[in-house]
Chain A
Amino acid sequence: MVTRVSGFMAQKMGSTSDECEDAWEAPEHPTGTRDFRCAIADGASESSFAKIWARLLVQAYAGGNLCAGSPGAGLTPVRAQWASQVGGSRLPWYAEEKAHRGAYAALLGLHLTDVAEGIGGTWTGCAVGDCCLFLVRRNELHTCFPMDSSAEFSRRPTLISTHIDDTSVVPTVRSGIWHDDDMFLLMTDALAKWFLSCTERGDKPWRMLQDVEGDLFAMFISALRDDGTLQNDDVTLVRVVVAAGL
C-alpha cells in the first residue's frame, strides 16, 4: 500500500498559531505500511486545555492506542495523561476551575489496511463530533461521513471529554474497500461545512484541495474567509491518497 499524506492547518483569524486548538497526526513514512492510521481533532474553544486534549487524542488514535472503530474503550490512559499534563503546576483560580470542568474535542480517525501488495484493502472511518471525512474516487464524491449536509452543522455535536467517568462517547463508524488512487479528505467543521455547501451547488471543491501545498493553503483559506464563504474558525485538512502499489 502506498499512501501520500499531507496535512495543513490555519488558525482562526485574529489568533496566533499557538492558539489553534486543532491537531492532526499521521505516520511520517507511510509508504509500504500495511496498516495506516491518521486522525484529526478539534478542541472546543469554551473548554481550557483543549489543545492538549486534541493533541493527545490524535496521537493515541494514530499510534494504535485507540480502537479504530470504537475509540471510547482506550480513553482511560489518555485522560490520565491529560490530567497529569494539566495538573502539574499551581494554577490560578480560573484555570483550576476550567481544568475541573474538563476539555472537549471532536475526533475523526481513518484506518487503512492492505490485504496484500497490489490487491487492495479496507478503510474505516470513525468520528465523534463534527469533523468530516470525504472519499473522492475518479473525480466524484463517493462518501461523506458523518455529515452529508451543510445544514447539519447548526447542531451542538457530542464531543469526547477528559472526564474519567464519561461513558457517553458514541462514535459513528463507516467502512468500505479502498480503490487505487482514492483520495480521503479529513477536515474540521468549518472547512467541512464549506465543502458540503459547494457540493450542494453542484461544484467539485476537492479540485481546489487536491493540489494545494505549502503556504497556498493559508492563502486559499484567507480568500474564503474574505469572501464570507468560510466561517472564521481554526481549520485543519489532512489529505490521504492511497494506491495499491507493487
Chain B
Amino acid sequence: MHDGWGGDPTKRKADMVATIINNLLSNLVLKCAKDEGIRNYFEVGVLGYGTRAGSAFGGALAGKSLVLVSDLADNPLRLEERLRKQDDGAGGILETKVKFPVWFDPVAGGGTPMCHVLSLAQTILADWIRKHPDSFPPIAFNITDGESTDGDPAQAAAAVRHLATSDGSVLLFNLHLSAHKAAPVSFPHHSEGLPDEFAVRLFGMSSELPDGMRAKLREEGYSTESGSRGFVFNADPVVTINFLDIGTRPANLR
C-alpha cells in the first residue's frame, strides 16, 4: 500500500484507504443518527491485513470483530477539527469548524494475506448469521491492491459468498486500488478489458449487484447492466465512497 493510487505517487494508497474507511464509517454513523441517539441498524467490522490479519479497530474498540454503530459513534480514536468551506450566499466563502472522526490511521507494509483474511471474515460472518438467521445478509467490502501473497483467494472468496441468511446470500464486493495507470472501471459485467490478472481475479470474486442496488446506482448516475458486479478498479475516491455508501443503504431508510 506504499504505491501511489492510479499511478499518482503523490497519493499513497494507505492514506487513501484510511480516508475512504473513515468517511464510510462516518457516513454509516450519520445514517443511523436520530433525535434520541444512534439507532443500531448495523453492526460493523473492519479487518486489516498486512503484517497480520485481524480487527483493525484501536482504542476502546481494539480487538473487537464486530461493533454496534452506537459504539462506533462514541469511540473514534480522536475527533479532528477541520474547516468546512461553504457558499455564504453573498458571493463569499464561509469557513466553519467541524469535527471529523478518525478511527483509522494509514498503515502500510507487510504482505497481502488475502486468503487468510477472507477465511477470518467467513468465520466472523458465519457466527453472526447463526445469531441473526433472518436478517438482511451481510455485505463485505475487500479494499486491496489485488496481489494476494498467500495463494489464490478465489476459494476463500467463494466460501464467503456461499454464506446466507433467509433473506439472501452474503455479498462480497471488491475495491481494487492499483499502481496501474489504466482507466478507472466501475461495476463491469464482464472482465474483458480489465488491465491485469489481479483485476480479473478480483472481478471473478465479486458478487453480482442485487437489483435494488443497481437501481440506486442508476439514481446516482452510474450505468450498470444485468450481471454487473460489485467491483471497482482505481475508481475516484468519491465513486468509491458512494459505492460503499449505497451498498450499506438499507431499503427501509427513507
Q: Using a CB–CB distance below 8 Å, which chain A residues touch chain B?
A: 12, 18-19, 44-46, 48-52, 92-98, 100-101, 156, 165, 232-233
Contact = CB atoms under 8 A, between A and B. Distances in A.
Contacts of A96: 98-99
Interface string B27-70: 00111011110110000000000000000000000000000000
A166 B35 CA distance: 22
B74 interface: yes
* Interface size grouping (class) on chain B: 20 to 34
A165 B89 contact: yes
A94 B29 contact: yes
Nearest to A104: B254
Contacts of A232: 252
Nearest to A86: B35
B183 interface: no
Tell me whether chain B's interface is mostly helix, strand or loop, or mixed: mixed
A93 B29 CA distance: 10
Interface of B: 29-31, 33-36, 38-39, 73-74, 76, 79, 89, 98-99, 101, 219, 252-254
A106 to B, nearest CB: 10
B35 A52 contact: yes
Contacts of A100: 98
Contacts, number: 45
B36 A46 contact: no
A98 B36 contact: no
A94 B38 contact: yes
A48 B73 CA distance: 15
Contacts of A45: 253-254
B74 A92 contact: yes
24 contacts: A44-B254, A45-B253, A45-B254, A48-B33, A48-B35, A49-B35, A52-B35, A92-B73, A92-B74, A93-B101, A94-B29, A94-B33, A94-B38, A95-B33, A96-B98, A97-B30, A97-B33, A97-B98, A100-B98, A101-B30, A156-B219, A165-B89, A233-B252, A233-B254
Given A19-B34, A94-B29, 15 more contacts: A18-B36, A19-B39, A45-B253, A45-B254, A46-B31, A50-B35, A51-B35, A52-B35, A93-B76, A93-B101, A96-B99, A97-B98, A98-B30, A98-B33, A101-B30
B55 to A, nearest CB: 22
Contacts of A51: 35
